Amino acid sequence: KETKAPEGYTIDNKMYPFEIKDNNQVISKTATDDKIIGKIEITKKDSKDSKKVLANTEFTIFDSNKKEIKKGVTDKEGKVVFENLEYGNYYYKETKAPEGYTIDNKMYPFEIKDNN
């Protein structure tokens, strides 16, 4: 049984049987772990009316070195989802405001540390 996974990977808790029948017998097994993958869902709202969601706002995801990874635009519910982000630290930033609004240029940090 795997008792500790490398950082950024899920642990395999399954017990694997094996049997030693001969003296000095070598058993060879390969174990695999999956990378931790997560997502972020961003909802854009009007700062003066928190019930009003804003469509057509572009957000960009950056890695820990502030290198651009993905872009997405909010839908009619004011939401944009970025999936398949591997374990690690990221930033998101509004890169295009909807018509009639000013852009929020701040970079916001977030972390993917658990699977899903």
Confidence check: pLDDT of 95 > 90: yes
Residue 31 is predicted with a pLDDT of 87
Confidence check: pLDDT of 50 > 90: no
State the pTM of this model. Answer: 0.84
* Strand stretches in the chain, DSSP E: 37-43, 58-63, 68-73, 79-86, 88-96, 107-112
- Averaged pLDDT of the chain: 95
User: By C-alpha distance, which of 91, 69, 92 is closest to 80?
Assistant: 92
Angle CA 88–63–110, to nearest 5: 55
Q: What percent helix, strand, coil does the chain show, rounded to 5? A: 0, 40, 60
Percentage of residues in the chain having pLDDT higher than 70: 100
Q: What is the mean pLDDT of residues 14-29?
A: 93
